Amino acid sequence: MNQQILIIWQTHDWGGGSWNIEVIQESYHDDNLTKFSHDIQVTNGQLFLSSYTDLTMVAQFEDERIPSKDNADLIIPLTDGFYTITVCKLFTDDASGDDSSTIHFRIFIEPKLLEHHAQVYQIPWMQRY
């Protein structure tokens, strides 16, 4: 994460589930949501969304890649450069990640002009606020 090539967050205390996201290519504008922001560098004109399963497979097997074959369609086309990504949680902690009709996370993507990056010391939302 500190090399601006990866953003990881915990979706829920119990993990698992299928989570729906909405991607908005503009600056974040709602201070009433649980959120975190992190910078990322886009290369090859693509930002990939992935899952914990994909990450564990890549860590275990040399022939695995991100994006995985199962998630290869989870691509956000972007111009190469630096972006600030803000991930907002839109549900309460007792909600299920298996509700297919609800948006669970909103991801804001904002171009970043400066190349100064904040450092990360733990995975967002692993700690209690």
Q: Does residue 96 fall inside a structural domain?
A: yes
For residue 31, is it within any domain?
yes
For residue 35, give the 3-state DSSP assignment: strand
52 by DSSP, 3-state: which?
Answer: helix
Angstrom distances, CA of residue 22 to CA of 10, 36, 105: 17, 15, 6
CA atoms within 13 A on the CB side of 118: 12
Domain-located, residue 46 = yes
pLDDT (mean) for 45-67? 89
- 4 in a domain, yes or no? no
- Is 16 inside any structural domain? no
Number of domains present in the structure of the chain: 1
Is 117 within a domain?
Answer: no
Give the range of the structural domain holding residue 33, as residue numbers without chain letter.
21-111
Q: Are 49 and 74 in contact (CB under 8 A)?
A: yes
This prediction's pTM: 0.77
5: which strand partners?
none
Q: Is residue 128 part of a domain?
A: no
Lowest mean pLDDT among 1-5, 47-51, 76-80, 100-104: 1-5
